[in-house]
Structure 1
Amino acid sequence: MRIPLALLLTLSSPALAGVEIVDGDTLRIDGDRVRLWGFDAPEKRQKCLTNGREEPIGQEATEALRSLVARGQLQCETKDRDRYGRTVADCSVGGRSIGDAMVWSGWAWALPRYSKDRFLSAQEEAEQAGRGVWAGHANCEAPARFRQQHRR
């Protein structure tokens, strides 16, 4: 299913069978990849050092998104296409922004360049509360830096 740029997509729980969680910031809807707008989650294979232990933060972020999407009605509004041709969409579940929820829970970094600072306060709260990638004495690199340093 090609998602036109202006389309508002709404999927209720029975339709979620057509939604696959690729990683913490990407969905596959009926086979098409949809990059979630405004935030960057750890890569699926990314780990970070937390309290002296290596933690699979990429897998944890993926599971956080899976849990969030399973909570209710998924709505996505297409914003753009990225340089890879993926649809970039601002999505919500049950009326709550997925970006806000992922950043607030500490499983993603805000991307103010794209989201116009929309998720920065959520990131500050996550940092102060020590949630997700900010837990313990975490030493986590931002996903963009991880991708740059670990190109396949």
Structure 2
Amino acid sequence: MYRFLCFILLVSTCDVQGASFSEPGFTASARALDGDTIAADFRLLGVDAFERRQLCERAQSCWECGKAAQDHAARVLGEADAQIRLTRRFSYGRPVATVTVKGRDLGETLIRAGLAIPQPEFLKTDPARAKQYTEAFAAAQRSKAGAFAGQWIEPVRWRRGDRLACER
């Protein structure tokens, strides 16, 4: 999936004279969207969503579950400003964060939609979130949401080269 989100940092000199920034920073690859807007990538904590080019199978045909995950995340992020909380962790060289939009956890939203799976091994210090994600996963499987309506490969296995028969 869309394993990372675009985190927009506005860099401006307006109203910052005398301001003191004590928030911890992070190191990440960044790119300029324009002269005063910078984008940096990060990964969601405890979530492994289907990769952008990943296919899943339902009704004996492949469908773009990874693109669906990316589109779903984009729709949620487009609803309102996102609250992004960076952790002190890094994954695949990128900072790890939690994201909420309108009070809804983006990771849980993707899992409930059947477009991501939980990674409880990365949530040992956040048992409440681990439980929330695990319950969302069980509900998505029961309701056959998204990819769980058919065949799918865990994103980590897909990144390693495993493919469904319909992808070959």
SS at match of 1:31: strand
Partner of 1:140: 152
Is residue 2:141 matched to residue 1:127?
yes
Q: Does 1:55 align with 2:63?
A: yes
Q: Which residue of 2 aligns with 1:91?
A: 99
Q: How does 1:2-151 map to 2 (within 5 A)?
A: 23-29=1-7, 30-115=38-123, 116=127, 117-118=130-131, 119-135=133-149, 138-149=150-161
Contact 2:2 2:51 in 1 (8 A): yes
Aligned residues: 126
Cα distance in 2, alignment partners of residues 149 and 82 from structure 1: 23
| Partner SS, residue 49 of structure 1 | strand
Question: 1:12 is matched with which residue?
Answer: none
CA distance in 2, matches of 1:114, 1:147: 18
User: Considering only CA atoms, is the larger Rg found in Structure 1 or Structure 2?
Assistant: 2
**Root mean square deviation of aligned Cα:** 1.4
TM-score (norm: length of structure 1)? 0.77
Identity of aligned residues (%): 26
Distance 1:106 1:83 in 2: 22
- Runs (5+) with no aligned partner, structure 1: 1-22
TM superposition outliers: structure 1 runs of 4+ over 3 Å: none
Distance 1:99 1:125 in 2: 14
Change (3 A) 1:128 1:79: same
How far off its partner does 1:82 sit?
Answer: 1.9
**What corresponds to 1:7 in structure 2?**
none
Q: Quote how far apart the aligned CAs of 1:72 are.
A: 1.3
SS of the equivalent of 1:40 reads strand
Q: Distance in 2 between matches of 1:83 and 1:120?
A: 21
1:28-85 deviation line (CA, Å, top 9, x unaligned): 2232111111110011110011110110111011001001111112001111332433
- The answer to whether the 8 A contact 1:40-1:110 is kept is yes
